[in-house]
């Protein structure tokens, strides 16, 4: 069966520090991978998605970047965090061509920037 792992689960970082959140998927090949952000009490904002290794599409211009060094690995990064980067970050995957866009989310990473 497919599983998705996301870490760290919780992170407290000072303003101006770097960020790295990692996501890996097991049990599937060539998944579409996604990073979403959820501000407190708000909806889901798509940040990045990837259809293959090294292929990244950005939905919202911002202080963050994403990379996909391996088929089932997706990394969210920042060189210098801002207060506004605080939020709940969710990695998700789906498989293209199933006839439906079934997204499966990870457990999330809660980032607090102080």
Residues in the site for another protein, rule: CB under 8 A?
6, 32, 42-44, 46, 49, 51, 90, 92, 94, 96, 99-108, 110
Q: Is 56 helix (H, G, I), strand (E, B) or coil?
A: strand
Nearest to 32 by CA among 89, 107, 105: 105
User: How many CB atoms are closer than 10 A to CB 59?
Assistant: 13
Nearer to another protein by Cβ, of 14 and 100: the residue is 100
Q: Least distance from C-beta 37 to another protein, angstroms?
A: 12
CB of 81 to another protein, least distance (A): 21
Token duo for residue 20: 């790295």
């Amino acid at each position: 069966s497919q599983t998705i792992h996301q870490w760290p689960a919780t992170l407290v970082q000072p303003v101006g520090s770097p960020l790295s959140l990692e996501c890996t998927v097991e049990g599937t090949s060539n998944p579409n991978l996604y990073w979403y952000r959820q501000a407190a009490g708000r909806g889901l904002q798509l940040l990045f998605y990837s259809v293959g290794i090294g292929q990244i599409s950005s939905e919202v211009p911002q202080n963050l970047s994403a990379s996909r060094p391996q088929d089932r690995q997706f990394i969210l990064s920042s060189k210098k965090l801002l207060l506004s980067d605080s939020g709940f970050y969710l990695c998700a995957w789906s498989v293209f061509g199933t006839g439906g866009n079934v997204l499966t989310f990870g457990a999330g990473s809660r980032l607090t920037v102080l």
